[in-house]
Amino acid sequence: MFIKKKKTTVLVLFCIIVLLVFGIGRKQQISIIDRYNPFLPSTTAYAVLPADTANSERIDVYAVDNALSNGDWLKISNDNSQKKKYIAIQHKGSYISRTMIVDDDKALPALIKQQIGNEYHQYSRKIDGPRSANTNIVFPFV
């Protein structure tokens, strides 16, 4: 009886710790935790690229998943050698699995293009607030 209760307690504590680690990883945008988080869906977001940066530079972009949500600030490696304006980003939280330069502006959904705008601006914590749009501390997985 005592062993069964102890196993249940250990299992519950383990589940709580795992959920806390996934929640903190999402809230703090820790990409290695987001990569393995089973609660986060893989989504495609769109962002505006800066016109003048070095190819190897890592930059912050405001990525929007859909027209009805706020976006997240993601850190990507800039490979804008073609000098295009928009990029499609496949990501799971802050873990970026793939990026693709959008060649044609018309390929971008109209409502998303309206939300992300036409010009790139750098991330500023004072102006833009937290990097993640999700401020839900209790269930930060969505």
> Can you give the residue range of the structural domain that contains 53?
41-122
pLDDT band per the 50, 70, 90 thresholds, residue 12: very high
Per the rule left: phi > 0, alpha: psi between -120 and 50, beta: everything else, 129 is left
Cα distances (Å, whole numbers) of residue 129 to 40, 64, 124, 136 = 22, 16, 7, 14
Give the chain's end-to-end CA distance (angstroms, integer): 38
- pLDDT of 142 above 80: no
Q: Looking at the structure, tell me whether residues 66 and 22 fall in a common domain.
A: no
- pLDDT of 64 above 80: yes
Q: Looking at the structure, tell me whether residues 59 and 111 fall in a common domain.
A: yes
Could you tell me if 99 and 87 are in contact, meaning their C-beta atoms sit under 8 angstroms apart? yes
pTM passes above 0.75: yes
Which letter, b or e, does each residue of 21-34 get, where b requires 16 or more Cβ atoms within 10 Å of its Cβ? ebbebbbebbeebb
**Bigger pLDDT: 14 vs 120:** 14
Residue 131 domain-assigned? no
What's the confidence (pLDDT) of residue 85? 83
Residue 136 domain-assigned? no
